[in-house]
Structure 1
Amino acid sequence: MLSQFITSSLQQAVNQVCEALGAKLPDSTPVRIEQPANMEHGDYATNIAMQLAKVLRKTPLQIAGLIQAELEQDTSYKQLVYATEIVAPGFMNLRINWEYWAERRFELPAAANQKIVIEHTSINPNKSAHIGHLRNSCIGDTLVRLMRKLGYEVEVHNYIDDLGNQLADTVVGMLHTPLSKEHARFGDYCWDVYSSTNKAYDREPGLVQHRTEVLHALEEGNQNLSWIGLLVAERIVKEHLEEMKQFGIDYDLLVWESNIVREGFWASAFELLKNTPLFHQETEGKLAGCWVLKQSGTEAGDDPESDHSMDKVLIRSNGILTYTAKDIAYHLWKYGLLSNDFVYKKFTDEVWTTSTYGEQLSFGKADMVINVIDHRQQYPQAMVKQALESLGFHEEAAKLRHVSYGVVSLSPSAAADLGIDTSEGKASYAMSGRQGIGIKITELIEQVAKVIEDTRSDKSGLSSHMIAAASIRYYLLRFALHTEVVFDMKQATEISGNTGVYLLYSYARALSVLNKAQEADILPSLPAQFPAMDKAEHALIRHISTWQDTLYAAGEELSPSAICNFTYELCSLFNNFYSACPILKAGEDVLPFRVWLTSLFKDTLGEALEVLGLPTPSRM
């Protein structure tokens, strides 16, 4: 990477200065560079000389001069950086030889030879998916694309909780809560059944006992109730996969919770946990009879009234396993730490599923695990890590990463459209599956596609449906992970500003320019000599040069929004260049360069769109 090369050269020069002065660079003082917002301050800058003033007992200007002198001896650095300027009170501004940069191929650091399992989506298989679920899937799929771009082997899991309360509620509703209403999809029918059942629990307390019976049946299997649950879950999951397919989201493996329990995975995990001091059965108090994983450093039974006390419970007093228990067993398998393994069969043509019968295949055995789960599951995720650590699997625990994100709520106008009382004047309103409040994915994409279809003049390019999917996906990705997304239909359907549509238009515009250049026999090859660059050209090439740094940093931080930020600025700079600098009507001295720069932009944007899961349209 460009920044890595410059940083390495600076690091070497700083080490030489420190050695000559009989000092050692502190570990707490790393050499860092950044791109100044004002291009007059250079393409890169560093303040390392100011950080070393106390250590070397010299002024920052003196230290910068010593570092500059060392850099003058570095031939490779001098080829890339044609000027290293010292500015009071001790900044060092670096100016890049962009012609040399364009000729030299900088590469991403080689990825470790590691397999990453990324789990995302993992929607309860009891009703249609809504926009909150979609944010999880878009984040997860982008991380899959990002880590593959960085060179990792990635396996994508979708965990199916077919033993949970939500599926049990839907089964109870189908058996005991009559519903007569027309629905186009089974998941939409179950959406209404689930909502009506949760309301019926208040009117008919006896139904709660039916849910307990269904939960036991689901866990034991091979009963009427468990077969009904399986049929419901499989039908819902197929609809979920079809919904996600519209957004370019794919999976390698569906892992069913029932297989974890029935095929002995939890039994194996239980035997391991029993040998640790942190796992025990409570004998008194609120959690009497429960098997609990206590926090290290706490006493058994501490703080039974804690909000998280039930998250520590792995087996309830009635013998039913908690979600966390099954998740611990699942993660032990993910890392290849259990003697058990699944067998597999095809669920669709592209997706495998765990099964009670099938083939033996090589899934799991990860070196790193990434789980995309919203911030409300932070404590249960910490308990999974705690279990790994208590079992002595410290390296695996360290490589278990929870990508936490803010939930999606509704803007006042979106809430009002769904019939929610907004008289309180709140800034946002939560969705609730139990109350049947939310925006289903299928309804959302239809609404956005209609807005796009009604506002576009040229309909010969991408379909409005594809543009709608891209718009929604980008809308959910561009916010920082921990930000609560307040969904507003008007914002989601905007076609200008920081939107998916703007990015697609920018790509199509660049491709159109290149197609016209090709018709005029102007090929986008590196010109024999760079002309003096216009400010807009300089800004564009300068930003393009940070693409590898952005990819690498986004992979380290697991941050899709960093890719969005880069891409939006990239398109803004290109469109500024397009307006300020004639391309096909340019003079012969700059025409080849501008066509090449347009091609470089198109290729870079194409890579970014691929990572974000957006199409690269030939026309809009």
Structure 2
Amino acid sequence: MEIEEKIKNSIVNALKDLNYPVVDINLEEPPSKDLGDLSTNLSFKLASDLGMNPVDIANNIVNAMETPKYISKVETKGPYINFFIDYDAFAPKLLKKIDENYGNLKSKNKKVILEHTSANPNGPLHVGHLRNAIIGDSLARIMRAAGYDVETHYYVNDMGRQVAMVVWGALNLEFKKEKVKKDHEIGKIYYLANKALENDPKIENEVNKLMKKYEEGDKKTRKIFKNIVKKCLEGIKETLKNLNIEHDKFVWESDFVRDSSIEKIIEKLKNTEYFYESEGAICLNLEKFGIEKELILKRSDGTSLYATRDIAYHFMKSQNADIVIDVLGSDHKLTAEQVKTVMKILKSKQPEIIFYEFITLPNGSMSTRKGTFVSVDELIEESKKRAIEEIKKRRKDISESEMEKIAEIVSIGAIRYYIAKLSPEKHLTFKWEDVLDFEKGCASIQYAHARACKLLKKAKYKEKEYEIDKWPLNDLEIDLIRILSKFPKIVETAAKTRKIHMAAQYAQELANAFNRFYKHVPVIGSEHEKNRLVLVEKCKITINNCLKLLGIKAPSSM
């Protein structure tokens, strides 16, 4: 990023000297190393304003500019201006900068409220929830590193029909108590309640009565609902913690009914042209915004809907943050658009929505109601079991406890990386062999970190003992320096675009380059041992820092 700033400053000075308009300068990696390390198509932007050929503009800029520091050569290729980095001079400067804080950028003084996971408290988290939780947590980590003040929320849907079904089941069904996690116990009750409903449709009326009594604030009903939801959340929190995920706040949906937030929102909307009443129900007409389906805020019996409570929640968030982000499944597009539209009507901040496609099982979609799902707890257990089997094949020299420790790190890394590496709009079919492939993916990244630790330990490396000198870099070292230098920009861009897979792909790129270096470049006993040990240590730090952004631990041994 420092080199980019120097290049941009040099270009701006040249533009001023030429009396050309000063416009935004975008630098990108060229498609081939023969075209340099950085390139700009600035001359295209200026061509229409200046009425000149872009090739002539590029040549004029290069002739007018001073060569920036750490740049060995500047040349034009048609309308493009290409910059070649002097890696021998740049490497010592970069390596001195890399420490445990590398990748942490300056504060942006912007508060972000990021809501993610928010699974209904009617059973354990299943692999269908994984994408939401891992995208949300990783994005929060990346945005914090990029300088944002991030507060993560779990929105607890305690007023929905699913919870009312669990409450009905707990009050009316007899079932054998089992020694299972509390969220799994709740999931079983929910499954049995749905089975009972299939046999007796009249149960639906009883469930609706429970929902109404809870919203009206009946003390006994409130206590039952609260206890069941808390019990389920206790299990969910344990699962999330095992995935290295913790939320800053758990915000309960019912709070917006109890504190009159919904009534205040309805009062605000009453004064708009979109408000109307129909057969006792309170509604909004959003056709003007291209939404054909009416938005019901209150039913004729006076009860609110999920959308109404969600609007109150988003209004609260908009009052307390500069940026509001929601991570949602693609099936929420209509309700998300309704919420965004109402926020617009209320002249409040509209949420940014990160939609993701679902994870399905090879034989179809997952359903808590039908009991067809793979729980995250099962996934973690199976992943750890397979990791131990792999470690046993490779390591005969470590204790059972050390093996357990490594297996836990590797298994959680495999799960998180499996989700993080793909763009959220891509569909995923859950396959054990893909998630737990320890030859590729996260295991190879963690292995690169462990290799670096092993090499530094063998050399008895101590950072303060080594001064970094300029040395003639070979191609593999240049590749490492080039990739290391990109990390702060990766953090900046991933945060700005809200794309966590950029960090995952970068971690793999750096690990691959390090593994090539490790295999082909001698370090201990070589002519440039001290400098190469520094390079190894800086790779270790950067791999660790990048994995932290993804909520993944970097083991020192594998």
Instruction: Using structure 1 for the length normalisation, give the TM-score.
Output: 0.82
- TM-superposition CA deviations, 1:190-234 (whole Å, max 9, x none): 222222322332321101101101111221233433322211101
Distance of aligned partners of 1:31 and 1:367 in 2 relative to their CA distance in 1, 3 Å threshold? closer
Per the TM alignment, residue 561 of structure 1 is displaced from its structure 2 partner at its CA by: 0.7
Distance, in Å, in 2 between the alignment partners of 1:484 and 1:59 is 44
Matched, 1:375 2:330: yes
Aligned to 1:440: 375
Asked if the contact 2:156/2:250 (under 8 Å) is kept, the reply is yes
Out of 265, 271, 283, the position equivalent to 1:269 is 265
Aligned to 2:8: 8
Aligned to 2:353: 402
Per the TM alignment, residue 57 of structure 1 is displaced from its structure 2 partner at its CA by: 4.5
Aligned to 1:120: 116
Matched, 1:186 2:182: yes
Match runs of 1:402-441 below 5 Å = 402-410=353-361, 412=362, 415=363, 429-441=364-376
Aligned to 1:465: 408
Asked if the contact 2:421/2:501 (under 8 Å) is kept, the reply is yes
Distance of aligned partners of 1:165 and 1:505 in 2 relative to their CA distance in 1, 3 Å threshold? same
Aligned to 1:345: none
Distance, in Å, in 2 between the alignment partners of 1:291 and 1:615 is 51
Distance, in Å, in 2 between the alignment partners of 1:389 and 1:323 is 19
Aligned to 1:547: 487
Asked if the contact 2:3/2:70 (under 8 Å) is kept, the reply is no
Matched, 1:507 2:490: no
Distance, in Å, in 1 between the alignment partners of 2:272 and 2:316 is 18
Distance of aligned partners of 1:432 and 1:516 in 2 relative to their CA distance in 1, 3 Å threshold? same
Out of 288, 297, 311, the position equivalent to 1:297 is 288
Per the TM alignment, residue 40 of structure 1 is displaced from its structure 2 partner at its CA by: 2.3
Distance of aligned partners of 1:254 and 1:107 in 2 relative to their CA distance in 1, 3 Å threshold? closer
Distance, in Å, in 1 between the alignment partners of 2:80 and 2:41 is 5
Per the TM alignment, residue 158 of structure 1 is displaced from its structure 2 partner at its CA by: 1.2
Asked if the contact 2:91/2:470 (under 8 Å) is kept, the reply is no
Asked if the contact 2:256/2:313 (under 8 Å) is kept, the reply is yes
Q: Secondary structure at the match of 1:518?
A: coil
Q: Give the counterpart letter for 2:288 in structure 1.
A: G
Match runs of 1:45-60 below 5 Å = 45-49=39-43, 52-53=46-47, 55-60=49-54
Distance, in Å, in 2 between the alignment partners of 1:263 and 1:59 is 65
Asked if the contact 1:49/1:60 (under 8 Å) is kept, the reply is yes
Aligned to 2:534: 596
Distance, in Å, in 1 between the alignment partners of 2:200 and 2:194 is 10
Distance, in Å, in 2 between the alignment partners of 1:329 and 1:221 is 18
Which range moved further: 554-563 or 45-54?
A: 45-54
Matched, 1:489 2:432: yes
Q: Secondary structure at the match of 1:331?
A: helix
Matched, 1:78 2:68: yes
Matched, 1:95 2:104: no
Q: Give the counterpart letter for 2:230 in structure 1.
A: E
Per the TM alignment, residue 242 of structure 1 is displaced from its structure 2 partner at its CA by: 0.8
Distance of aligned partners of 1:189 and 1:31 in 2 relative to their CA distance in 1, 3 Å threshold? same
Aligned to 1:329: 312
Q: Secondary structure at the match of 1:403?
A: strand
- TM-superposition CA deviations, 1:376-423 (whole Å, max 9, x none): 212222222222221223xx22xx21121111111x2xx4xxxxxxxx
Distance, in Å, in 2 between the alignment partners of 1:580 and 1:176 is 69
Matched, 1:43 2:37: yes
Asked if the contact 2:151/2:248 (under 8 Å) is kept, the reply is yes
Distance, in Å, in 1 between the alignment partners of 2:466 and 2:80 is 37
Per the TM alignment, residue 574 of structure 1 is displaced from its structure 2 partner at its CA by: 0.8
Q: Give the counterpart letter for 1:48 in structure 2.
A: L
Q: Give the share of equivalent positions with the same residue, in percent.
A: 28
Per the TM alignment, residue 47 of structure 1 is displaced from its structure 2 partner at its CA by: 2.9
Matched, 1:528 2:463: no
Per the TM alignment, residue 52 of structure 1 is displaced from its structure 2 partner at its CA by: 4.3
Out of 375, 382, 387, the position equivalent to 2:342 is 387
Q: Mind listing any 5+ residue stretches in structure 1 that lack a counterpart?
A: 283-287, 337-364, 416-428
Aligned to 1:339: none
Distance, in Å, in 2 between the alignment partners of 1:44 and 1:185 is 54
Distance, in Å, in 2 between the alignment partners of 1:567 and 1:295 is 45
Per the TM alignment, residue 564 of structure 1 is displaced from its structure 2 partner at its CA by: 0.4
Distance, in Å, in 2 between the alignment partners of 1:382 and 1:525 is 57
Asked if the contact 1:119/1:158 (under 8 Å) is kept, the reply is yes
Distance, in Å, in 2 between the alignment partners of 1:49 and 1:595 is 42
Distance, in Å, in 2 between the alignment partners of 1:16 and 1:108 is 33
- TM-superposition CA deviations, 1:511-570 (whole Å, max 9, x none): 111222225x78684522221x21111111111111111111111111111110111111
Q: Give the counterpart letter for 1:528 in structure 2.
A: D
Asked if the contact 2:214/2:221 (under 8 Å) is kept, the reply is yes
Distance of aligned partners of 1:248 and 1:15 in 2 relative to their CA distance in 1, 3 Å threshold? same
- TM-superposition CA deviations, 1:478-515 (whole Å, max 9, x none): 11011122111111111122x22222111111111122
Asked if the contact 1:16/1:70 (under 8 Å) is kept, the reply is no
Matched, 1:614 2:552: yes
Q: Give the counterpart letter for 1:5 in structure 2.
A: E
Q: Secondary structure at the match of 1:402?
A: strand
Out of 44, 57, 69, the position equivalent to 1:63 is 57
Distance, in Å, in 1 between the alignment partners of 2:48 and 2:114 is 45
Asked if the contact 1:18/1:56 (under 8 Å) is kept, the reply is no
Out of 464, 474, 480, the position equivalent to 2:423 is 480
Which range moved further: 5-14 or 116-125?
A: 5-14
Per the TM alignment, residue 123 of structure 1 is displaced from its structure 2 partner at its CA by: 1.4
Q: Give the counterpart letter for 1:39 in structure 2.
A: K
Aligned to 1:578: 518
Distance of aligned partners of 1:238 and 1:107 in 2 relative to their CA distance in 1, 3 Å threshold? closer
Distance of aligned partners of 1:322 and 1:121 in 2 relative to their CA distance in 1, 3 Å threshold? same
Distance, in Å, in 2 between the alignment partners of 1:93 and 1:122 is 47
Distance of aligned partners of 1:295 and 1:246 in 2 relative to their CA distance in 1, 3 Å threshold? same
**RMSD between superposed Cα atoms in Å:** 2.5
Asked if the contact 1:17/1:67 (under 8 Å) is kept, the reply is no
Instruction: Using structure 2 for the length normalisation, give the TM-score.
Output: 0.91
Out of 568, 571, 583, the position equivalent to 2:508 is 568
Asked if the contact 1:3/1:33 (under 8 Å) is kept, the reply is no
Asked if the contact 1:2/1:545 (under 8 Å) is kept, the reply is no
Q: Secondary structure at the match of 2:236?
A: helix
Q: Give the counterpart letter for 2:448 in structure 1.
A: S
Asked if the contact 1:495/1:502 (under 8 Å) is kept, the reply is yes
Asked if the contact 2:44/2:79 (under 8 Å) is kept, the reply is yes
Asked if the contact 1:85/1:92 (under 8 Å) is kept, the reply is yes
Matched, 1:163 2:154: no
Distance, in Å, in 2 between the alignment partners of 1:40 and 1:51 is 24
Q: Which has the higher helix share?
A: 2
Q: Secondary structure at the match of 2:303?
A: coil
Per the TM alignment, residue 94 of structure 1 is displaced from its structure 2 partner at its CA by: 0.8
Asked if the contact 2:11/2:65 (under 8 Å) is kept, the reply is no
Q: Give the counterpart letter for 2:236 in structure 1.
A: H
Q: Which has the higher contact order (CA 8 A, sep 6+)?
A: 2
